[in-house]
Chains A and B, each alone.
Chain A
Amino acid sequence: MRWSLIHPLGSERHDRTDGKQQRKKLEEFNKALVASATVIPLVTALPENEPRKKTLLALLQANARECQRLKAGLE
């Protein structure tokens, strides 16, 4: 399978074993967690009668679970 088929940024290659890649993984994961943590208060701040509020919170919780799964996959 060619890397470029599934890499989100195209044909960039990474050495799998070096510490740089591990650090990058960790940095990207931390950015993802920050993004999730930032958006949850935005949804909770929506008015209670907002039609999508409950659904969006549930979707964000599902997203957080998948991020944990992603993290667990690397551990």
Chain B
Amino acid sequence: MHESAKGLKPGLNDSDQALLAWACRNLIELVVFVKYVLQSVRNAETFSKDGIVDLHQMIHVARNLQKQELPEQDGEADTVMEFANALKELAGISTDKYLLAGNLAGTVGKAAEYAAIHKICSKYVHPTAFSILDAYEEGIVSVVNWAFFQRGVVYNAEICKDIALYCVAAKPQAV
């Protein structure tokens, strides 16, 4: 729930549902990314370069907005765009699409779980009609909060387990 709205839920427990949903959703995305990175060195490289794709995309949309809102400063925006293009080229990136956990979930055996949990969490993360009108019904709030928390803890354990197992297996080879 937004900070400013906290005072509007008297009678409920003190949990912040949107925050729990955010954490749960982000944790299942991290589960997917960790598994993806551990699948192969190539995947790890793709993931580590993905930040450049994000940066490029942000600069691209900001440049377009600036062209629209401040056309007289067009040159500056183009210079930054050229820098982003050069960075992308240097990294050998040919795609404009950033990695989406949802697209990778299937490759790490998490497609069904990801789709379900992501959808449920998203209903609480965004100002959907459900979250605006119904989510603060006391009965459902407490059950769902507990579920978000439980799921989050399980995902954290999964992330730690996957990385720990990798480290134990990788260490003797790397030394």
- The bracket for how many chain A residues form the interface is 35 or more
- Is B34 touching A59 in the complex (CB atoms < 8 A)? yes
CA distance in complex: A14, B150 (Å): 11
Interface secondary structure of A, over-half rule: helix
Tell which of B20, B47, B147 touches A7, judged by Cβ atoms closer than 8 Å: B147
> In the complex, what residues of A have CB within 8 A of residue B20's CB?
70, 73-74
* Residue B99 interfacial (CB < 8 Å): no
A-B contact count (CB 8 A): 150
CA distance in complex: A46, B168 (Å): 9
State the interface size on chain B (CB cutoff 8 A). 54
CA distance in complex: A14, B139 (Å): 12
- Is B153 touching A73 in the complex (CB atoms < 8 A)? no
> In the complex, what residues of B have CB within 8 A of residue A75's CB?
14, 16
A window 1-56: CB within 8 A of B: 1, 3, 5-9, 14, 16-17, 21, 25, 28-29, 31-32, 35-36, 38-39, 42-43, 45-47, 49-52, 54-56
